[in-house]
Amino acid sequence: MEHPHFSIDRTLAVLQKEFRHMRRDGVTLRLVVALPLMQLILFGYAINGDPKHLPTAVVAADSSEFSRSLIEGMRNSRYFDVTRRLQSEIEGDRLLAEGRVKFLVVIPPDFGRTLMRGERPVVLVAADATDPAATGNAIASLAQIAQRAVGRDLVGVAARAGAFTPAPVEVRVQARYNPDGITQYNTVPGLMAVVLSLSCTLLTSIAVTKEREKGTLENLLATPVRPLEFMAGKVLPYVVVGYTQAIICLAFARVLFGVPFEGSFLLLMLMTGVFILASLAVGFTFSTLAQTQMQAMQMSQFFFLPGMLLSGFMFPFEGMPKFAQWIGSLLPMTHFLRIVRGIMLKGNGLTEVLPHFWPLAAFTVVAVLIALARYRQTLD
């Protein structure tokens, strides 16, 4: 069927050509299918706004049945997972600073005797409040948990004690590092990790792919430039870009949102450099796999999306199932996020940062080695 201005035959010919092109472009087709599947899995299984089983350290100087009931009641609430039994508060403070536990519960030595006398003992609970969404519900449930747990044991001794109040235990909560629960204190430092991850990965992957599309990559391959030299020449300009973005993010965090900066600026810049190199190495690897800039962008998104969702930036890390936490622990953004928040909000030094630095450094080394290996295959 012909028309002076429209031909079905010509339209069908173009349509057939496009389907053939899509079939030949296997990388893009697989990414188009994989991206929505990954989003469904991550949002369906890994996202939880009410985290349970939060790691908790306990310093119990009292061994009475009341202290045991209190600890067991916290466990039964499913908000608290007692992972550490400590001998001193100093050790607990260190674990809080490193982010290894979310709560530190201190039970005084005369806890049981005070209850038997009909008085109200004080239980100190220190909470890592850098992420208010992660600990808010657990903190709100503490008083009720203590009342139920200790109240059951007090029923039998209430007559001898001479008193039984509805709240036999006073729970004093110290919301550390973010006592006012300001959300910006948590999200704004995290945005620095998000911006660096997206921009560094995307810019590097597109830069090298653009060379291939324009045909200039073949000219570079014909020169004596070695793989490491080519990679360094391509990556170092974006290191400068990354540091510029980081400084802008820190300045805006301080000026616009009043986010405190308790730690060392030089230490943060050192950790930032490692994270920038990790992101750039990932982008360089994608550039050796992608044939077009569109493929490079899709691969960058495929890497960036899990990092943003599983790192603890948007949703509490502790609220995710174990498999999602395991995947998130492999991603550099997760560790850099903890480093940034630890230095800015907690004033962490090198000792507290090291547990998160080693996984970040290991990822960077592996990413650089893979990028170099892929580039050598391109040379061959």
pLDDT in tens, 121-148: 889 999 998 888 888 888 888 888 888 8
Give the percent of the chain with pLDDT over 70. Answer: 82
What pLDDT does 35 receive?
63
Question: How does pLDDT run across 115-124, given as a tens digit for each residue?
Answer: 887 778 889 9
Q: Count CA atoms closer than 13 A to 116's CA, side-chain side.
A: 8
Binning pLDDT at 50, 70 and 90, where does residue 6 land? low
Res. 249 pLDDT band, cuts 50 70 90: very high
Confidence check: pLDDT of 91 > 70: yes
CA separation, residue 349 to residues 93, 277, 354 (Å): 14, 21, 9
* Mean pLDDT of the residues in the chain: 82
Contacts of residue 271, defined as CB under 8 A and 6 or more positions apart, other chains included, come to 336, 339, 340, 343, 353, 357, 360
Contact yes or no for 200/237 (Cβ under 8 A)? no
What is the pLDDT at residue 1?
A: 46
Q: Is 342's pLDDT higher than 90?
A: yes
Mean pLDDT of 327-350: 93
For range 63-68, the mean pLDDT: 85
Q: What is the pLDDT at residue 22? A: 65
Assess contact for 285 and 190: CB atoms under 8 A: no
Higher pLDDT, 24 or 326: 326
pLDDT value at position 31? 61
Residue 78 CA to residue 60 CA, distance in Å, equals: 20
pLDDT, residue 29, reads: 64
Give 265 or 183, the one with higher predicted confidence. 265
pLDDT at 161: 45
Q: Which residues of 302-340 are buried (b: 16+ CB within 10 A; e: fewer)?
A: ebbebbbbbbbbebbbbbbeeebbebbeebbbbbbbbbb
Least trusted range by pLDDT, from 14-18, 77-81, 104-108: 14-18
Q: Kindly tell me if the per-residue pLDDT of 14 is higher than 80.
A: no
State which fold the 54-176 domain adopts.
Answer: abc type-2 transporter like fold (3.40.1710)
**Is pLDDT above 50 for 370?**
yes
Q: Tell me how far apart the alpha carbons of residues 336 and 199 are, in angstroms, rounded to a whole number.
A: 15
Could you give the CA distance from residue 68 to residue 61 in angstroms, rounded to a whole number? 11
Q: Which residue would you say has higher pLDDT here, 312 or 50?
A: 312
- Please determine, for residue 275, whether its predicted confidence score (pLDDT) is greater than 70: yes
Nearest alpha-carbon partner for 312 in 134, 68, 170, 88: 134
Q: What is the rounded CA–CA span in Å between residue 136 and residue 181?
A: 9
pLDDT-based confidence at 114, cuts 50/70/90?
confident
Sign of CA dihedral 316, 318, 323, 329: positive
pLDDT band of 42, cuts 50, 70, 90: low
Residue 232: which pLDDT band, with cuts at 50, 70 and 90?
A: confident
Instruction: Indicate the range of 116-120, 162-166, 258-262 predicted with least confidence.
Output: 162-166
Helix (H) or strand (E) holding 2: none
Q: Which of 46-50, 200-204, 299-303, 311-315 has the lowest average pLDDT? A: 46-50
- The per-residue b/e assignment along 52-73, b for 16 or more CB within 10 angstroms, e otherwise, is eebbbbbbbebebebbbbbbeb
- The count of C-alpha atoms lying within 13 angstroms of the C-alpha of 58, restricted to the half-sphere facing its C-beta, is 20
**HEC sequence for 235-294:** HHHHHHHHHHHHHHHHHHHHHCCCCCCCCCHHHHHHHHHHHHHHHHHHHHHHHHHCCCHH
Output the pLDDT for position 11: 73
User: What is the pLDDT averaged over residues 335-362?
Assistant: 93
Whether residue 245 is predicted with pLDDT greater than 70 in this model: the reply is yes
Does the pTM surpass 0.85? The reply is: no
Q: pLDDT-derived band of residue 160, with 50, 70 and 90 as boundaries?
A: very low
- Confidence category of residue 303, pLDDT binned at 50, 70, 90: confident
Confidence of residue 242 (pLDDT cuts 50, 70, 90): very high
Is residue 159 very low, low, confident or very high in pLDDT (cuts 50, 70, 90)? very low
Domain ranges of the chain: 54-176, 183-379
DSSP 317: G
Which residues share a beta bridge with 107?
A: 60
Q: Are 160 and 113 in contact (CB under 8 A)?
A: no
